[in-house]
């Protein structure tokens, strides 16, 4: 569907709308829709056939329009749902959706980077606290060792 532009989508919808009550179009009616441009009409018929919206009836060559085109129920339902124009517009909205997804991902990425920085800061703060506590512990061991040595010397002197 991405190879069709908005004008072609509108043209395909116009062809589907032209089927009317008998749900069929003759070769002459189709050529009248395309101002006798058989190549353009053939291209549009090929698209509608590929989509499974119409069937061909009557004698026709490989590169000629059939005598009659018949609208399938799927084609009528497709047209009621907005047809090719609606599908085209929906496809045009997809990049915006993708863009909003990219924006959400960028926002999430920034939030996660901020969280990582906050965690790194907290880790550094905790490392400092651990180092300070280890230093205090070493000082306490040193004081205990000094107290033991002083106690030993005092005990020797008092003997």
**Stronger pLDDT, 87 or 146, i.e. the higher one:** 146
pLDDT in tens, 24-45: 888 888 888 888 888 888 888 8
3-state SS, one letter per residue, for the chain? CCCCCHHHHHHHHHHHHCCCCCCEEEHHHHHHHCCCCHHHHHHHHHHHHHCCCEEEECCCCCCCCCCEEEECHHHHHHHHCCHHHHHHHHHHHHHHHHHHHHHHHHHHHHHHHHHHHHHHHHHHHHHHHHHHHHHHHHHHHHHHHHHHHHHHHHHHHCC
Percentage of the chain lying above the pLDDT 90 cut: 25
pLDDT in tens, 85-112: 888 888 877 766 666 778 888 889 889 9
């Amino acid at each position: 569907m991405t190879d069709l532009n908005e004008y072609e989508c509108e043209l395909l919808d116009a062809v589907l709308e032209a089927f009317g009550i008998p749900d069929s179009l003759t070769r002459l009616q189709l050529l009248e829709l395309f101002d006798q441009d058989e190549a353009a009409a053939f291209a549009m018929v090929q698209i509608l056939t590929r989509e499974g919206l119409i069937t061909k009836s009557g004698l026709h060559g490989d590169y000629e329009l059939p005598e009659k085109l018949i609208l399938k129920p799927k084609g009528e339902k497709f047209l009621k749902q907005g047809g090719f124009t609606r599908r085209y517009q929906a496809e045009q909205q997809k990049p915006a959706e993708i863009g909003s997804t990219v924006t959400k991902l960028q926002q999430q990425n920034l939030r996660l980077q901020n969280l990582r920085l906050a965690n790194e800061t907290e880790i550094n703060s905790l490392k400092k606290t651990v180092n300070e506590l280890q230093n205090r512990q070493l000082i306490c061991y040193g004081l205990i060792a000094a107290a033991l040595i002083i106690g030993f010397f005092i005990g020797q002197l008092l003997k």
